[in-house]
């Protein structure tokens, strides 16, 4: 009797059950990786926007007179910022904190960056900067 090199019905069923158990796990892992990558990308953008906003406010001196909240316009929809100010070390300096809020995976998240500024140094800088 000559034997063929084929799979038996039990072997095929076992392979299908194994794939049936394995595929949902693999798909779930891929979806989680995709969500994590998307959240990381949006967080990175939010950090860059917060850094740019904080730099703009401190270098122009607008932190003491401008609005304390806003958005990033049509260029960055879904991102908004808020500025908070607080005294630091008995009022010698001011702590500026910029929070950038954004949505990811149906939840609002935020990043926060802070720096210290001196109002006297800001005023001196504004006096030395020529107006255009």
Could you give the 3-state DSSP secondary structure of residue 107? strand
**pLDDT score, position 122:** 53
- Cα(13)–Cα(20) distance, rounded to whole angstroms? 10
What's 68's DSSP letter?
S
User: Which residues is 88 bridged to in the sheet?
Assistant: 93
**pLDDT score, position 7:** 83
Could you give the 3-state DSSP secondary structure of residue 129? coil
**pLDDT score, position 62:** 83
Those residues whose C-beta lies under 8 Å from the C-beta of residue 62, and which sit 6 or more positions away, are 56
So where are the chain's domains?
Answer: 9-128
Q: Which two tokens stand for residue 4?
A: 């063929």
- Cα(113)–Cα(99) distance, rounded to whole angstroms? 7
**pLDDT score, position 129:** 55
From first to last of its 132 residues, the chain has per-residue pLDDT tens of 666 678 889 999 999 999 999 999 999 999 999 999 999 999 999 999 999 999 998 888 888 777 789 999 999 999 999 999 988 877 788 899 999 999 988 899 999 999 998 876 655 554 555 555
User: Which residues is 116 bridged to in the sheet?
Assistant: 95
Q: Which two tokens stand for residue 110?
A: 């935020």
Structure pTM? 0.72
User: Which residues is 97 bridged to in the sheet?
Assistant: 84, 114
**pLDDT score, position 18:** 92
């Amino acid at each position: 009797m000559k034997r063929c090199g084929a799979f038996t019905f039990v072997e095929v069923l076992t392979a299908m059950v194994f794939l049936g158990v394995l595929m949902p796990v693999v798909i779930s892992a891929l979806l989680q990786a995709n969500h994590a990558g998307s959240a990381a990308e949006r967080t990175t953008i939010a950090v860059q926007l917060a850094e740019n906003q904080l730099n703009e406010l401190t270098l122009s001196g607008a932190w003491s007179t401008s609005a304390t909240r806003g958005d990033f316009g049509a260029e960055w929809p879904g991102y908004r910022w808020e500025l908070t100010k607080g005294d630091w070390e008995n009022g010698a300096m001011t702590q500026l904190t910029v929070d950038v809020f954004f949505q990811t995976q149906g939840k609002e998240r935020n990043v926060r960056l802070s720096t210290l500024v001196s109002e006297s140094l800001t005023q001196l800088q504004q006096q030395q900067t020529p107006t255009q």
